[in-house]
Amino acid sequence: MFSKFVKLNSAIFALLLVFTLVDLQAETSSGENSAITITGLNVQAAGDMTEVLISTNVRLDDVVSNKIPGTGTAPARMYVDFAGAKAVGLETEYAVGGVLDKIHVVTTDVGVRMVFDSSTEELFDFSIDQTVDGIKVSVSAPEKSKQGAVREGSVDDTLDELIESSVAELKSKASSSRVKKKVKDKRDGFGLSGFKKERISVDFYKIDLHNVFRLFREISGLNIIVDESVSGTLTLSLDDVPWDFALDIILNLTDLKKEERFNTLVIYPKGKVFTWPERTSLDNLEIETDKETLVVKQTARQSKEVMMATQIIKKAKDAERRGNYEDAAELYEEALVLWPKNTKISNRLATLYLVELKLNAKALHHAKSSLKKNPKNYRAALYAAIASANMQNSEATEYFVQSVSGNPPLKEALISFAAFSENNRMYDNALRLLRKYDDYYGATRDTILSKARIYDKMGDSQNALDQYRSLLSSGYQLRPDLKRYIKGRLAAGNL
C-alpha cells in the first residue's frame, strides 16, 4: 500500500523553511482566523534612512506604537502592535544594522508585536505611514534635541514576557575610559549602600523561585531554607552587582523576607513569623545541619546543570544566526545531555538535522525522543513524519496521522500530510485533509490549487474546473503564467 516516497512536494519544503524561522514550540491554541495576516517584512536602505515595509492582507486603519527607553543592559526600543493579527512565514528575528539593530517578531495570544531595537541606549527617530498593503516604518539617526524626550517614553511591563531575555544584552558602544568610569562609579555606589558581597551577573527568564534560591546557595556558600508556601517564577536581568543586592531585589519583588543565623538563611513570606529553634542538643543541631546541607547541595547541582544548559543554548542560537548549523547542532546536543527533559532542545535538533543538515536519521531520532516524553507533541510528530518520508519509511503515515491529531490540528501538519498523500496517490485522503484545513483556517491559494491539481490527477475534470474557477475569482494574486493556464483550462472546458 505504501509506494516509495522519492521526492517531497515543494509545499513541504516551503513549510520546512518556515519551521526554522518560528518558535518551534508555539502550539496553535485556537481555530479562529485573525482578521489581519502579516505576510511579509522587507528592510531596505533609503539614503540615511532605513525603511521597513510590513505587508498585510488588509489595509490598516490604525496601529499602536510605543517607546521603551534604554538601560545599562538593554537598548532603547520601539514596538508596533497588531491586535488580533497573525504572522505567516516571518522570521522571529531580523538583523538590520546601523541605528536599527534588530527587529523581533513576537506572536502572542492577542496578536503580533514587532519590537525594533536601537543599536544604543538612545532611541532612533521613526515615523509610521500607511501603504496600500500594510505600513511603512521609517527609521533614522536621532537628533540631539530629541534625546530627552526619548528617555521619557513609557516602559511596557510585559516586554520581558514577550521576548527571551537574551535580547536584553547590549554590546557597549562607549570608549574604554567611559566604561571604566561607569564601573568605578557603580562599585562605589554599592559600597556606600552596604552591599559588598561577591559581584555576579544573572539573567533569569521565567525561572522557578526555588531554583533561583538554589543558585544563591551555590554563590553564597550559605545553607538556604525556603518556606514551602513560596512559589512562582521570576524574570530578571542584572549585570555586575553584589549578590546580596540581587537577592534583596528578588525578595522585594516577590514579597519575601530573610533571616540569617549560623551560616543559614531562611526565606519566607513577609506575612509569616519565623522563630529559630532552641538549641537543646549539640548533636541534634549538627545532624539537622548536615541533612539540610546535603539536600541543598543536591538540588543546587541540578540547578547548575540547567543553568549550564541555558548558556550553551544561547551559544547554539548564536551559531544558528551565523549559519554555522553543524556547530549549533553540537551545542544543542551538549545542552540536551545536561537537560534531557527539555523537549524544546530535541525539537530544535530535529529541525536542524531535517532542514539545514539533511540528516534524516538524526532528525527522526530526536523527534521520536520528544514524542516519548510527550506523545501530544504534534510538531515532533510532524518532524518524525517528514524524516520518515524522506527515508522511504512506511511509518511516515503513522506519524503524519499523529501530527494532525491536535484540536485544532496544526496547519503545517495538514498541508504536509496532504502533499504526502498526493505524492503517494492517496488522493481521497489528500482532499479530506485539504477540506479539513479549509474548515479550520480558511481556503488559501495553495489549498485551492492543490485540490484542482488532485482532481485533475483523478480524472475528475468538472471538479478541477470548479476549483480553478474559484481560484480565479478568489482575489489572490496569481503568477501571469498560472493565470493564463487557468483561463485556458476554463475556456477549453466551456467548449
154/54 same-domain check: yes
Cα of 389 vs its chain's centroid, Å: 27
For residue 303, what pLDDT is reported? 59
Question: For 255-405, where are the E strands, in sequence order?
Answer: 256-261, 264-269
49/135 same-domain check: yes
69/134 same-domain check: yes
125/235 same-domain check: no
What pTM, to 2 d.p., does this model score? 0.43
The answer to whether position 228 is within a domain reads yes
For residue 63, what pLDDT is reported? 74
CB 289 within 8 A of CB 225: no
73/189 same-domain check: no
Average pLDDT, the chain: 76
Tell me the CATH number at 260: 3.55.50.30
143-179 tens-digit pLDDT: 753 444 333 344 444 444 444 433 333 333 334 434 4
What is the total count of domains within the chain? 2
98/195 same-domain check: no
d(CA 253, CA 245): 12
182/160 same-domain check: no
DSSP state string for 414-452: HHHHHHHHHHTT-HHHHHHHHHHHHHHH---HHHHHHHH
134/185 same-domain check: no
From the list 88, 107, 39, 15, the residue with the least C-alpha distance to 351 is 15
185/131 same-domain check: no
For 346, counting Cβ atoms within 10 Å of its Cβ (0-12 exposed, 13-18 middle, 19+ buried), the class is: buried
For 75, counting Cβ atoms within 10 Å of its Cβ (0-12 exposed, 13-18 middle, 19+ buried), the class is: buried
Domain-ending residue, one of 133, 166, 199: 166
Tell me the CATH number at 38: 2.60.40.3500
The answer to whether position 447 is within a domain reads no
For residue 362, what pLDDT is reported? 93
Give 183's contacts (C-beta < 8 A, 6+ positions apart): 240
121/61 same-domain check: yes
Domain-ending residue, one of 276, 304, 320: 276
Low-confidence residues in the chain, pLDDT < 70 = 1-35, 46-47, 61-62, 72, 144-196, 277-303, 493-495
For residue 14, what pLDDT is reported? 38
200/111 same-domain check: no
Report CA torsion sign: 265, 267, 273, 274. negative
The answer to whether position 437 is within a domain reads no
The answer to whether position 90 is within a domain reads yes
Domain span including residue 58? 34-166
Q: Rounded to the nearest 10 degrees, how much is the dihedral formed by the CA atoms of 463, 468, 474, 477?
A: 150
The answer to whether position 481 is within a domain reads no
358-402 tens-digit pLDDT: 999 999 999 999 999 899 999 999 999 999 999 988 899 999 999
For residue 195, what pLDDT is reported? 55
User: What are the grid coordinates assigned to 300, written together?
Assistant: 543546587
132/221 same-domain check: no
